[in-house]
Structure 1
Amino acid sequence: MRADGSAAWGTESVARTRNQGPTIVIRREEGGEAGHHGGAWKVAYADFVTAMMAFFLLMWLLNATTEQQRKGIADYFAPTNLMSQATSGNGQPFGGSTPHSPAQLSTDTSSPRIETGPRPVLQDIEVEDETETPAQPVATREAPPGPDDAPDVKPGQAAIAVPAPGDGGPGAARRDADLAAASEAALRRELEKRERDALEQLAGQLRTAVSADPALAELAQQFRVEQVAEGLRIQLLDSEGKPMFISGGNTLNERSRALVAKVASVIRRVPNAVSITGHTDATPFRNDARSNWDLSAERANATRRLLVENGVGESRLRSVAGLADREPLLPEAPEAAANRRVSILLLRQAPQPPATGVTPR
């Protein structure tokens, strides 16, 4: 600004003439600070920050989501999803919720579906003849189970998949075999219990039949019935002055024949196999031509013949043997009369459970 109030901007000044010759004033204004070279760097920096934010967001999503959630995100952005109709969440990923929303682990909405068939809207187009056509079902394919379908698992616990019965798998055959073996064992125990009860009932019938016969009352002390591991054992014993057989021979006396006949009338009602064993005391034979082995076997065979004569089937006989004095009834008195006896053993029947169709391993 000059003294006369006129403004001079630019590189030239107005020259005024006074008394002297023309005066030319040239004014050059210098700028204060250098320019900032424009705002292009701000745009580049903003792009860099945005890219970094997107990168860290991607890394967070990869770490905070499950495989099913990532598939849901991919399906959301996939072109095939443009024709789908979501059943919940308005078509948004994760069923309309974020991975950390309160209702993420428990929700009433179902998982999204991906429809591979034609759009349902095409079914609403009317045909020219205006004939109603039944709506055709649209083939849909259920998407993999999403986070809404996952069971509640407490932190630190691993979800245990329990296959349903009949499902395939490496452990299915082993599990079925174990179940079949357990069922077979339980059935076998039940059959064994029933057989024990049946043998005990048969023992009661034998005792009653012998005690009810007046002719056999005096032989009650020479008659024993008991259950053993092999089955029901019936023993006909000698007593002092009351032998079952003729001394040194294999012929039953009249009372003994009546007792064996009574026993046969009871055991012939059951199908159990029969094993007969003869026993002697430790008194040796005077005649070296025979021994207690011969005597015990002959007495067992004589008892076998009498049982068959009174109705016991020959096919039921399992064995007839003589054990001499090897298994005395009274080991502390090897020459006692009670060691001279005949044992009739009704063998247990091996229970055969029904086939289960699975061979236990």
Structure 2
Amino acid sequence: MAKPGGKGNLAPIVVKRIEEGEHGHHGGAWKIAYADFVTAMMAFFLLMWLVNATTEAQRRGIADYFAQPNDLARGPSGSGQPFGGRSLYSDGPLISDAPLVPMMRTAQPGLDSEEEEEGPEIRLPRPSARQQTPPAQAVPEGDAMADAARRAGELEAALRGSDNAARRGSVDNEALRRAAEAARQELLTRAAEEIRQAVRNDPALASLGRQLIVEEVAEGLRIQLVDAEGQPVFETGRAAPNERGRALLLRVAQVLARLPHPIEVTGHTDAAPFRGGGERSNWDLSAERANATRRLLVDAGVTDRRMRSVSGRAERELLVPANPLDAANRRVAVLMLLPAQGGTAP
């Protein structure tokens, strides 16, 4: 038997070692993302402030400062150097005032009929900041007539921009001129057909189609609303159109509102003297009818700033000269102006 305090009564010593893993991340990564977001917002608002606080000349100077210099391609070079003279590029950040030479695309085998009917593809020059002018009214997206108007406007602008280069003999813009004329003709055709179709599709106006004259003229597209025997557009001696006339003008306005071109409105009467009494005459009546037509077009969505002129011609320009009292002489004409052939505005 072991004695107390002897070696055999010693209790075993147990040493516990607890191995703890690494603590998980305490979620501080969001601070980095937040800091990036705040920095981006600060840069954005600083940019917006700079855009509004600087002039066009100052912004161009800043852009020139950061633009990569290329003395070989953009600067003047002396005789015997690779370019042998000054390049076509002007000072600025990768903007050229010189128009590009039109590139014609020929049909390739294997293309379907839609691609072949698109016609020649014209490379348009990118206008410089001083050449860009805001359009009178934005052309909406999404329909063939608006696309035709946009293409015609781009080609006319490109043609005007290439006139100087053509006079210097450095650019042959004959192909561009043909393309601009084709685009102008396409726009006229589409706009005229849409106006006629809008009247045909309205059962209440189907019988009035002969009182709507849509024709392509040198100045652009002319739409005339004419009286007929027993079916007047304006009541006798009245300036405002009647219900029939308002319905026709509304269909015309719905098409014109989708285009950006300036408009002239002209009123006409027949040769019968004005019977309203007082000092008013056919001059007053025709001018008042033209202005009433302008108001109706504006109310229907055509912007007033597109109105180039509103005038009355009395009986000075008869539609049927052989019969000055013919009902068709009583009419209003709405002329949508397009640049004349060759890119010169009418």
Q: Which has the larger radius of gyration?
A: 1
| TM-score, scaled to structure 1 | 0.47
| TM-score, scaled to structure 2 | 0.49
